[in-house]
Amino acid sequence: MTSAALLELVRSGRVHPLRPLGAPSTLAQREVLASEGEALLKAVSSLLPLAAPTQLMLDTPGLVDEVQRELSLGRGLGFTRLDVVCPSGAPTQFQLLEVQAGDPSAMGWHDALAEVFGTPPTLMPAHRRALEALTPGRRIAFVVAKDSIVESDHRLLAEHYGKHGWHSVVCDPRELSFDGASLLARGEPVDAVFRDALDELFTGEFTPGGMALLAAAQANAVVVMNPFAAALADDKALLEPLSTPGRWSPELARVLEAHVPCTRVVRERRVDWEGREVDLPDFVRSAREQLVLKPVDGYGGFGITVGPFVTAAAWDTALAEALRKPNRYVAQRYHPLPREQVTLLEGTQEEAFVVHSLWFTPELTGAFTRASLQPVVNVHQGGGLAPVSFGPPFS
């Protein structure tokens, strides 16, 4: 029955273009994952006022000021996803790959799959309750570019909100306007916005709609989830201070040392894992099998080079690209991804690389598994997704 329902969900287009896995997975030790994850987010939040604005923020009039205002109000993070490596049989020894706070996606997909598999749909209810705590209004726009890969995810969220008393609309950024008192989505006033990526709001043809949203937020005419400031947390350069224990209290340093792989921004000279100053290019070149190279502002698994899975020549090419763009790449210590038997959509099983995503609001709300035959595991790269069940159900 589950297989038939899953295939029907896929054929309906409601999770397009996601390729679901054919069965849910489980994680143990929810309480430890929750407490350690919340400590990580506490550290991330403390770094946001020190983070450099992105170029997009600098290029958009008024956006940096709004980011600073949000931070002053304590609204740095909203609904946040930690992408982690959970060693098989020891999930509490997880290693942080990256923070997804600017525009975390797949909440709708997760819950649609959870319903098919008979597990609690936790993420959309938690998202809605978090937003209900910020505004008494019940009119919301889900702002996502038409034909975006995550458009169907936003539509599932809108459907959920509609079932719980909200008036919801899915709209393209170009369909936003501000009349000085209300933000309008397709001509209708809204109280709240759940947005996709900032570059879908403030570049090219999207800019007028993005500026309308910004003006409405500055006028306190609308609540935006996630806040614009959350995009600062996606900068992988923050993994360098997170993996420098000496700057933290002993209690927080313990958590960070346990869960944040040593990460250094790529530039000509930097300290290595043991704190010695080295010629960084030589160090990175010689340590290929221990490292991963990532763009600091990358997404979707694009631009990532996993040292143990490429030739020395390919590694040199990736390093040369990183050196052409100083401070725009990080070298992160590689932690082997678990390889597990996963059930595919068709019901067959295959061994695949597996990573997990933990969701916080800031409490641990839910999780999902992603799996791929390739060492860069991402839905954008063709990876599959399945909900995770663990601990008591979220109520």
For the stretch 166-215, pLDDT in tens is: 999 999 999 999 999 999 999 999 999 999 999 999 999 999 999 999 99
117: number of Cβ within 10 Å? 19
pLDDT in tens, 88-118: 888 899 999 999 999 999 999 999 999 999 9
Closest Cα to residue 358, out of 24, 89, 27? Answer: 27
This model's pTM is above 0.85: yes
Q: Per the structure block, which two tokens stand in for 151? A: 């458009």
Spell out the alpha helix ranges (H) of 181-327: 207-218, 239-242, 250-259, 280-286, 312-324
Domains and CATH numbers, the chain: 262-333 (3.30.1490)
> Residues 300-332: pLDDT tens digits?
667 899 999 999 999 999 999 998 888 899 999
- For residue 395, the model assigns a pLDDT of 33
Number of H helices, E strands in the chain: 12, 21
Structure tokens at 30: 């929810």
Q: Whose structure tokens read 């030589």?
A: 282
User: What is the pLDDT, as a whole number, of residue 300?
Assistant: 64
> How far apart are alpha carbons 360 and 77 in whole angstroms?
10
* Distances from the Cα of 46 to the Cα of 43, 242, 257, angstroms: 5, 10, 17
What number of other Cβ atoms are within 10 A of residue 267's Cβ?
Answer: 14
Sheet containing strand 192-195, edge to edge, reads 167-171, 139-143, 192-195, 223-225
The span from the CA of 390 to the CA of 27, in Å, is 5
**Cβ–Cβ < 8 Å for 238, 74:** no
